[in-house]
């Protein structure tokens, strides 16, 4: 009796091991506006390490995110990330790869330059490489040009 149970368990284990499993096949769902170098494994507020070029990613639900490093923003504690760690933050809607100075749809729009720089729509100035951060004393916003 025990022998039959052991054989049945071995056969069941073999059948489970031979069954097809759901593994990633290298394909990733893409969204309109996605850019080259997108990170599809980004998570809001998680650490990130590429905030100079190709900074955009998508969260688990498809939300556009951007990797930003803000000096002095690391939290304090035993699990503090290494110095120079950025964090995933919410990004404005992405509009793909755009040329600097070309027409853009208006505020709350992000894009990437052909060489991977993050860009924002600045109205009449068109697409400009850079990002927004809090202005002095947290009042309003300040555009930091990059590139």
CB burial readout 58-90, b (16+ within 10 A) else e? bbeeeebbbbbbeeeebeeeeeeeeeebbbbbe
Q: What percent of the chain stands above pLDDT 70? A: 66
pLDDT score of 80: 62
**Two structure tokens written together for 3:** 């022998």
| Domain residue spans of the chain | 32-145
Q: Please state the rounded mean pLDDT for residues 56-72.
A: 89
Cα 102 to Cα 88: distance, rounded to the nearest angstrom: 27
pTM of the model: 0.71
Q: Is the pLDDT of residue 74 over 50?
A: yes
| pLDDT tens readout for residues 3-55 | 554 454 444 444 444 433 333 445 678 899 999 999 999 999 999 998 889 99
84 with 112: CB under 8 angstroms?
A: no
């Amino acid at each position: 009796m025990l022998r039959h149970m052991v054989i049945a368990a071995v056969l069941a284990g073999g059948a489970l091991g031979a069954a097809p499993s759901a593994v990633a096949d290298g394909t990733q769902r893409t969204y309109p506006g996605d850019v080259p170098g997108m990170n599809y494994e980004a998570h809001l507020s998680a650490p990130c390490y590429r905030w100079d070029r190709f900074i955009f990613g998508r969260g688990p639900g498809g939300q556009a995110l951007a990797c930003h490093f803000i000096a002095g923003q690391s939290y304090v504690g035993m699990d503090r990330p290494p110095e120079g760690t950025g964090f995933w933050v919410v990004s404005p809607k992405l509009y793909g790869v755009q040329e600097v100075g070309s027409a853009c749809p208006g505020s709350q729009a992000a894009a990437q330059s052909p060489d991977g720089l993050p860009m924002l729509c600045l109205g009449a100035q068109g697409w400009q490489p850079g990002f927004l951060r809090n202005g002095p004393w947290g009042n309003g916003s300040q555009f930091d040009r990059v590139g």
